[in-house]
Amino acid sequence: MQKKIKGTNDILPGFLGEGVFVSEFWQKIEEEILNIAGLYSYREIRTPIFENTEVFVKGIGDTSDIVTKEMYTFSDRGDRSMTLRPEGTASIVRSYIENSIMKKEPISRFFYGGPMFRAERPQKGRYRQFHQFGVECIGGDSAKYDIEVISLFWILLSRLGLKDMELVINSVGNTQSRAVYLDKLKIYFKDKLDGMCKECKDRYEKNILRMLDCKVDGCQDILNAVPSIIDSLSQESKDFFNGVKDGLENLGIPYIISNRLVRGLDYYTETAFEIIHGGIGAQSTIVGGGRYNDLILQSGGNSVPAVGAAFGIERLLLALLDEGVISPVDNEPFYFIVLLDKEMEADAQKILYDLRLEGIPSTESDGSRNMAKQLKLADKSGARFAVFIGGDEWTASSVMLKDLKTSKQNEISFKDSDPLSVLTSFFKETDK
């Protein structure tokens, strides 16, 4: 038997799937995503699933975990290095520059979604193929855009019914003030490294800021006493961070500040933020994002400020299921055709076709079973009404309907019209 690749998942319809991997839950989230994008006037951008490897190495940073350990990189037939996208921002920046979007509008508001690929060790909430929804607001240098992005996710999660969520914010400053801070960190950790984990020792050399993200128990005492990044910020960065805090307070969005929130991608400047959830285990970050004022310039474009964020649909669903606040979208048919007379198969198929043409969700059993078995299938399908085709009533020009919720039968004559008109009117008159 062929098996799916470790860290990937099949998302199946509700009666076949389980928990997070039920397609009707995904549709619910996708529905809300389109609603929130409409509310905030964000428009969809779709970029390819693979790009030249350079796009991600330059964009995400060649010392980040994603680039050094997690990318699915391969050579194509022309021996060019390609990579399956591990995230969306770098590709969108590539597209923004390539399509000269800067010349077409001062502020671009994009949303995107789809599968992303990272070769991480799979566990609950962490997969090798996962699905992100993200937004990028490109062109604005005011804190109001950071607030716009944060509030978009805050409203989306609230509309979905999530309660136990926490917004954590920090500032990683601009390049200059960060350089000052990195020097402070070098001095602080220098004589403490012996007592720290191997990864911290590694990061001390390659990407010292990421030491703050270490979760190893033995490192926590040292990390908790680390100098605060906020104290090293330039006045400009401090003012910007205050602007973000004031903006959140103005909207009544609660937050906590964590000096150790540094994010795993190297492109962030100024604001970094995450929305976390307590009920989903070690992988508790649902939404992650921040400002990236230098990325477009570094990627070959002009100096254009930007801010964005993304969440993993799988993790959001874990959180919503943990709180029991999500119900699947309703894809159930209205009519279920029960065929009583095999001779009428062609008529039944025509009625089914016409009902669908009218936009009435309808289905059937395979027609080869007896009535009781067909009714059982009708119940299982979640349909509202069974429609009996054939039998004495049909011969006498009326259609029998069975309400599958109440089991009440209803006979409607089609003497003066035809079965389709009767079924269409009944559909329109019935409370869905």
Tell whether residue 271 is a contact of ligand HAM (CB under 6 A). Answer: no
Quick one: 60 or 360, whose CB is closer to ligand HAM? 60
Residue in the block written with tokens 């969306």: 88
Binding span for ligand HAM by CB under 6 A among 51-59, 127-135, 351-359, 372-380: 127-135
Tell whether residue 171 is a contact of ligand HAM (CB under 6 A). Answer: no
Quick one: 290 or 419, whose CB is closer to ligand HAM? 290
Which of 17, 53, 126, 180 touches ligand HAM (CB under 6 A)?
Answer: 126
* Nearest distance in Å: CB 329, ligand HAM: 21
Sheet holding 81-84, edge to edge: 50-52, 81-84, 72-75
> What is the H or E stretch that residue 174 is in?
none
Coil vs helix vs strand at 254: coil
How far apart, in Å, are the Cα atoms of 154 and each of 30, 148, 159? 16, 10, 9
Quick one: 89 or 177, whose CB is closer to ligand HAM? 89
Residues 310 and 136: their CA atoms lie apart, in Å, by: 9
Tell whether residue 285 is a contact of ligand HAM (CB under 6 A). Answer: yes
Residue 158's contacts (CB-CB under 8 Å, 6 or more residues apart) are none
Quick one: 310 or 401, whose CB is closer to ligand HAM? 310
Tell whether residue 289 is a contact of ligand HAM (CB under 6 A). Answer: yes
Q: Which pair of structure tokens corresponds to residue 313?
A: 């649909």
Tell whether residue 14 is a contact of ligand HAM (CB under 6 A). Answer: no
Asked if 408 and 393 touch (Cβ cutoff 8 Å), the reply is no
Binding span for ligand HAM by CB under 6 A among 214-222, 282-290, 343-351, 413-421: 282-290
Coil vs helix vs strand at 139: coil
Which of 47, 91, 95, 132 touches ligand HAM (CB under 6 A)?
Answer: 132
Residues 241 and 255: their CA atoms lie apart, in Å, by: 13
Q: Tell me whether residue 87 is exposed, middle or buried, using C-beta atoms within 10 angstroms of its C-beta: 0 to 12, 13 to 18, 19 or more.
A: buried
Residues 301-330 that bind ligand HAM (CB under 6 A): 308-312, 314-315
* Nearest distance in Å: CB 234, ligand HAM: 22
**Identity at 384, one-letter amino acid code:** R
Binding span for ligand HAM by CB under 6 A among 117-125, 240-248, 348-356, 394-402: 117-125
Quick one: 301 or 390, whose CB is closer to ligand HAM? 301
* Nearest distance in Å: CB 408, ligand HAM: 47
Residues 117 and 130: their CA atoms lie apart, in Å, by: 7
Residues 282 and 9: their CA atoms lie apart, in Å, by: 19
C-alpha 253: how far from its chain's center?
21
How far apart, in Å, are the Cα atoms of 354 and each of 128, 350, 359, 427? 44, 6, 9, 13
* Nearest distance in Å: CB 27, ligand HAM: 19
C-alpha 3: how far from its chain's center?
25
Tell whether residue 130 is a contact of ligand HAM (CB under 6 A). Answer: yes
Binding span for ligand HAM by CB under 6 A among 119-127, 318-326, 336-344, 360-368: 119-127
Quick one: 136 or 364, whose CB is closer to ligand HAM? 136
- Write down how long the chain is: 432
Asked if 296 and 317 touch (Cβ cutoff 8 Å), the reply is no
Asked if 230 and 238 touch (Cβ cutoff 8 Å), the reply is yes
Tell whether residue 87 is a contact of ligand HAM (CB under 6 A). Answer: yes
Tell whether residue 387 is a contact of ligand HAM (CB under 6 A). Answer: no
Tell whether residue 277 is a contact of ligand HAM (CB under 6 A). Answer: no
* Nearest distance in Å: CB 418, ligand HAM: 53
> What is the H or E stretch that residue 158 is in?
helix 143-159
Q: Which pair of structure tokens corresponds to residue 253?
A: 């969005």
x/- binding map, residues 239-268, to ligand HAM, per CB under 6 A? -------------------------xx---
Binding span for ligand HAM by CB under 6 A among 11-19, 87-95, 167-175, 243-251: 87-95
Tell whether residue 59 is a contact of ligand HAM (CB under 6 A). Answer: no
Q: Tell me whether residue 186 is exposed, middle or buried, using C-beta atoms within 10 angstroms of its C-beta: 0 to 12, 13 to 18, 19 or more.
A: exposed
Binding span for ligand HAM by CB under 6 A among 50-58, 125-133, 210-218, 334-342: 125-133
Residues 335 and 392: their CA atoms lie apart, in Å, by: 20
Tell whether residue 89 is a contact of ligand HAM (CB under 6 A). Answer: yes
Asked if 291 and 307 touch (Cβ cutoff 8 Å), the reply is yes
Residues binding ligand HAM: number (CB under 6 A) = 27
Which of 61, 88, 333, 419 touches ligand HAM (CB under 6 A)?
Answer: 88
Which residues of this protein are in contact with ligand HAM, per CB under 6 A? 87-89, 118, 120, 125-127, 130, 132, 134, 136, 264-265, 285-290, 308-312, 314-315
